[in-house]
Amino acid sequence: MGRGGGENPLIGFSISCSSGTYVRVLAADLGSYLKSPAHLASLRRTSVGKFNVKDSVTLEDMAKRDDKGRNKEIWAMRAAINMPEALVREAELKKMSEGQAIKVTRLTNDVMSIGSTAKLLHSRTSQLIGLGKIVANGDEENITAKPFLVFL
């Protein structure tokens, strides 16, 4: 915590909180407690879950990498997205690239209810190739997803 003097004092602080915490409201509440108007002059998120800004890669650094280096970083998105996973068979890839509904196979034990979103993984490489909404749900082998974001 630090404080700058002057007519409009500044107080800097760091907070660890769960998602959904209204940090701007905390600043206003702190001002009320101190009987002084208060607001945030700046706000910077330095981590979310297991991801920290120290581990980030700039677009400039990505541009300097060869395709293999870029793909390594991009495919790490699979770990970043916390949702159920489903495998897309080779035979469904063309339909997926055209945005058509596809048959997928449940990969994780997560619940896949109609309307939920799933990560779509290539059945041969396990790479993240898109995101889709579950539109029909049967047994493990009979699930239909409608892709809405495709990385092919």
Residue with tokens 């206003």: 28
Cβ atoms within 10 Å of 16's Cβ, excluding its own: 7
Query: For the purposes of burial, counting CB atoms within 10 Å of the CB of 134, is it exposed (0-12), middle (13-18) or buried (19 or more)?
Result: buried
DSSP state letter for 145: E
CATH, range 81-150:
2.30.130.10
Rg (CA), the chain: 22
Which is more confidently placed, 72 or 151?
151
Which is more confidently placed, 19 or 94?
94
* Pairwise CA distance, residues 36 & 30, whole Å: 9
* Pairwise CA distance, residues 87 & 56, whole Å: 28
Beta strand 117-122 with 85-88: parallel, antiparallel or unpaired? Answer: parallel
| pLDDT of res. 108 | 67
Residue 1, amino acid: M
Please answer whether residues 114 and 137 qualify as being in contact, where contact means their C-beta atoms are separated by less than 8 angstroms. yes
pLDDT per residue as tens digits for the range 94-124: 999 999 999 888 766 666 778 888 888 888 8
Please answer whether residues 75 and 127 qualify as being in contact, where contact means their C-beta atoms are separated by less than 8 angstroms. yes
Domain ranges of the chain: 2-47, 81-150
pLDDT per residue as tens digits for the range 42-99: 998 888 777 788 888 888 988 888 877 777 776 566 776 778 888 899 999 999 999 9
